[in-house]
Amino acid sequence: MLNKDTSKKLFAEAKNHIPGGVNSPVRAFKAVGGDPIFMKSAKGAVMTDVDGNQYVDMINSWGPMIIGHAHPEIIEAVQAAVPNSLSFGTPASPEVEIAELINKMMPSIEKVRMVNSGTEATMSAIRLARGYTNRDKVIKFEGCYHGHGDSFLIAAGSGLITMGEPNSPGVTKGTAKDTLTAPYNDLEAVTELVKANSGEVAAIIIEPVAGNMGCVVPKEGYLEGLRKLCDEEGVVLIFDEVMTGFRLSKGGAQERLGVTPDITTLGKIIGGGMPVGAYGGKAEIMDFVSPQGPVYQAGTLSGNPISMAAGLAMLRHLDTHPEVYERIDNVASILAEETKKTLKELGLNYTTNEIGSMHSLFFTDRKVNDFEDAKSCDTALFGRYFNEMLERGIYLAPSQFETLFICSAMTDEHVEQFLKASKESLKAIH
């Protein structure tokens, strides 16, 4: 067994001062058993904990460290920006540069507003859609997670389903009634829902590839169908690309899958690890945002110069290094193919889903196309798999309902280590 004494001590202390000992529930090991590991440093694809154990990192800060931890270009950009002040609260040139670069990489984003997290991005995007359409209702899909804004904590994936409660207390009935939910990948169901609420639906928000119930890929024609439905009914189509933006391709899921939303929400990756989010889209809609338009949205630290420096370095790297995408897609497809082979060899009938650099192993024999399928997983078995992997130096997200987050710094040796660990772990739990 790995020595985790320092982590254990820190967690015991943390529980006295921080709810559940963590500053975000998805970091807890509640669903997999045991205490969370406290990290001290990370470089490339490897994290080192406070007890000196090393792990191949399959979370990468839940996505943003797409080119690995402590990448020299990002560190240098941050170090160069720091002496000029940590915050102005006035406009500064990197905000213009990043807006231009986002527009170049994701052309559907004609105008963009920077915020500080994915949650802020999605909350602001639906307020904008409501202001623009003068309608109240919003449709989200079961199992999708769009941050912790009140309107989204209904039938939600990620930490909510991991903790076993997809709805949160504290959301008023008034708010909840304006959020309608539909099953993912079922065009007929959402069409009926929109028709039944014709003239009242402001927006449909979706993870174009879901990552928060594990990786769930849209069926052929599904996103195209949503696009057509929104056009017919005057509904704003929002792609939440907090996870997929700049991951599934330079231009996100929308580029890879060839469907264009009206508004896109972004997060994490555009900050290179700093707390950043953004929402953007058609100029005609974005011009409703204050001070140009009447829909209010603000932020003291939005467009923060250090975050912008990190984000710009990250996006410039992604824009000029197509090999990043080749590498992460290639690693993911090796992991997926080899995992399938191992499952077959061990006589196990579990499901895998993958697209680009997103991949999930589901402990269920059902095909996973929606939240109901994902919920059929044996989460206790996943917990045992997680802990076996951890012992072998592989740090997975501590939840069945997440995807792997692969970074381009993963070497062939790391891939080997992962596959060996996975085979041994699967054997150990059966």
Residues that bind ligand PMP (CB under 6 A): 62, 117-119, 122, 145-147, 158, 207, 211-212, 240, 242-243, 267-268, 277
Q: In angstroms, rounded to a whole number, what is the distance separating the alpha carbons of residues 415 and 419?
A: 6
Distance of closest approach, residue 115 Cβ to ligand PMP, in angstroms: 9
Q: Which is nearer to ligand PMP, 137 or 268 (CB)?
A: 268
Distance of closest approach, residue 233 Cβ to ligand PMP, in angstroms: 24
Q: Where are the beta strands (DSSP E) in 251-366?
A: 263-267, 277-281, 351-355, 358-362
Q: Which residue has the tokens 């065009």?
A: 187
Distance of closest approach, residue 106 Cβ to ligand PMP, in angstroms: 15
**Does the annotation count 240 as an active-site position?**
yes
Question: Smallest Cα–Cα separation from 12: which of 3, 23, 21?
Answer: 21
Distance of closest approach, residue 252 Cβ to ligand PMP, in angstroms: 11
Please list the residues that pair with 238 across neighbouring strands.
Answer: 205, 263
Q: Which is nearer to ligand PMP, 113 or 146 (CB)?
A: 146
Q: Which of 49, 240, 262, 370 is catalytic?
A: 240
Are 254 and 260 contacting, i.e. CB atoms less than 8 angstroms apart? yes
275 upstream amide cis, omega within 30 of 0: no
**Does the annotation count 340 as an active-site position?**
no
Q: How many CA atoms lie within 13 A of 358 on its CB side?
A: 29
Q: Which is nearer to ligand PMP, 239 or 418 (CB)?
A: 239
* Cβ-proximal residue to ligand PMP, closest one: 118
Q: Which is nearer to ligand PMP, 212 or 369 (CB)?
A: 212
Q: Which is nearer to ligand PMP, 122 or 307 (CB)?
A: 122
Q: Which of 145, 279, 325, 350 is catalytic?
A: 145
Distance of closest approach, residue 319 Cβ to ligand PMP, in angstroms: 22
Q: Which is nearer to ligand PMP, 118 or 183 (CB)?
A: 118
Q: In angstroms, rounded to a whole number, what is the distance separating the alpha carbons of residues 18 and 187?
A: 42
Q: How many CA atoms lie within 13 A of 59 on its CB side?
A: 20
Q: Which of 4, 137, 140, 268 is catalytic?
A: 268
- Give CA torsion, residues 52, 360, 186, 133, to 10 deg: 30
Distance of closest approach, residue 270 Cβ to ligand PMP, in angstroms: 11
Q: In angstroms, rounded to a whole number, what is the distance separating the alpha carbons of residues 261 and 239?
A: 6
**Does the annotation count 145 as an active-site position?**
yes
Q: Where are the beta strands (DSSP E) in 287-399?
A: 351-355, 358-362, 394-395
Please give the positions annotated as active site.
145, 240, 268
